[in-house]
Amino acid sequence: MTENTGERPRTAVVVGAGIVGLSTAWFLQEHGVRVTVLDRTGVAAGASWGNAGWLSPGLAIPLNEPSVLRTGLASLVQRDAPLHVPPAVSPGLWSFLLRFAAHCTWPAWHRVVDGNLALNDECLDVFDELTRGGVAAETVEAPVTAVFESAAQTAPLLAELRRMTAAGAAVDHRTLTGIEVGTEVPQLSARAGAGVRLAGQRFVDPGNFVEALADSVRKRGGTIRTGFDVREIVPQRDAVTLVSQGNGTASGDVAVLATGAWLSRLAKRLGVRVPVRAGRGYSFTVPTASPIRQPVYLPGIRVACTPYRDGMRVAGTMEFRGPDAPVDDRRVRAIVRSAAPFFDDVDWAARTGTWVGPRPVTTDGLPLIGATTAPGVFVAGGHGMWGFTQGPVTGRLLAERIVTGKQSEALRPFDPLR
């Protein structure tokens, strides 16, 4: 229902044409709401295009694990560290990083795990709901194989998975010997000496999936407007008007901000105190002599490898810079130096499609999903590395919240006004 009138909304404006915004629009349509989606650039123009494409609730491990503090310090002196903080840090970024560090404790980690349980338990079912409902893109069932140089190196990941399981998460996994991991993924080199296999996971071509989702929104009567850079939100008695920079206005009974790493730009004016910053990830595609059949994770260097069209998409790095900053080729070369020794017959020099995208990271590790202080205005974002996995279930839950006016228990940990 609309916050102002108590009636069910008939129209909605969703800002952001990524996986979260388009999923919210699609599920609002399921409730009979007419939707308009706005984006300043285009469909899947942010973090939704070049990510690894994993639908992996079993690996949705919180970012605020206490060892991240040690990793963060190492990143200041190690050029190839998977976590990269630039030497020149703005006061705003220092403030964010200090607040994030304060949440790198086991109690805070468990709060994120507990909060994410509902999202992770339902996320794959919601992808199925989308594809049954007309989203013409496939999700591929496959295990994720985490690869290590030795059996001893599996200990940190196994400890994290045990903690996840103890908290109630469903994580079906088993260890692999060096021979077994080589059989599982024949493209691996002799450096692969052990592994951990996580069953029940999936992967997608993320850009293709989001484009198909956008097509479905259009076919169901929705409008998608690009080149619309929202600069102001004007809640009124019975509507919400969004004002762009030079491209007019758009109005609806309700509005949803799903702008990823740019969320705080508008949300901080709406009572949302938890900041969102860009934890930028890089990816590129490399040709392989034979295609890999399943995702491969290299935990020691935080690199994800996924079957992608005729090659392998390689994704990694958590870089804290502005969301619109250009590609830093040094980060790409660092990924190559770290990942290349684990594979045979990969032509790393022939890489294509180099991309950088801003993952939206919050200081406490929990996303922001729900109502703001502005009547009729909602936000959805801040999922960190797991926005693709959790985007559709977020959209379904938020659409129910908007239409019914009732706060579900599943959304309570993600209250934007916390």
Mind giving me the DSSP string for 393-406?
A: HHHHHHHHHHHH--
pLDDT, residue 76, reads 53
pTM reported for the whole predicted model: 0.94
pLDDT, residue 170, reads 87
DSSP state of 10: S
Whether 5 is in a domain gets the answer no
- Gap between the Cα atoms of 97 and 102, Å rounded: 9
Going from the C-alpha of 400 to that of each of 18, 319, 382, 406, the distances in angstroms are 19, 34, 19, 8
- Gap between the Cα atoms of 376 and 365, Å rounded: 26
Whether 1 is in a domain gets the answer no
Neighbours of 10 (CB within 10 A): 12
What are 357's two structure tokens? Answer: 């995208």
Whether 3 is in a domain gets the answer no
pLDDT, residue 384, reads 95
- Gap between the Cα atoms of 164 and 198, Å rounded: 13
Neighbours of 269 (CB within 10 A): 14
- Gap between the Cα atoms of 258 and 20, Å rounded: 6
- Gap between the Cα atoms of 52 and 194, Å rounded: 22
Whether 250 is in a domain gets the answer yes
Total number of domains in the chain:
1
Neighbours of 217 (CB within 10 A): 27
pLDDT, residue 196, reads 98
Range of the structural domain that residue 61 is part of: 11-414
Whether 4 is in a domain gets the answer no
**Exposed (0-12), middle (13-18) or buried (19+): which is 49, by Cβ within 10 Å?**
buried
pLDDT, residue 166, reads 93
Whether the Cβ atoms of residue 220 and residue 29 lie closer than 8 Å to each other: yes
Close Cβ partners of 77 (under 8 Å, ≥ 6 residues apart): none
Whether 6 is in a domain gets the answer no
Residue 364 dihedral angles phi and psi, to the nearest 5°: -105, 5
pLDDT in tens, the chain (418 residues): 454 456 899 999 999 999 999 999 999 999 999 999 999 999 999 899 999 999 999 999 999 988 877 766 565 556 666 777 776 678 888 899 999 999 999 999 999 999 999 999 999 999 999 999 999 999 999 999 999 999 999 999 999 999 999 999 989 999 999 999 999 999 999 999 999 999 999 999 999 999 999 999 999 999 999 999 999 999 988 899 999 988 899 999 999 999 999 999 999 999 999 999 999 999 999 999 999 999 999 999 999 999 999 899 999 999 998 999 999 999 999 999 999 999 999 999 999 999 999 999 999 999 999 999 999 999 999 999 999 999 999 999 999 999 999 989 999 999 999 9
3 state SS for 145-213: EEEECCHHHHHHHHHHHHHHHHCCCCCCEEEEEHHHHHHHCCCECCCCCEEEEECCCEECCHHHHHHHH
CATH number of the structural domain spanning residue 343: 3.50.50.60
Whether 32 is in a domain gets the answer yes
pLDDT, residue 88, reads 67
Neighbours of 25 (CB within 10 A): 30
Whether 46 is in a domain gets the answer yes
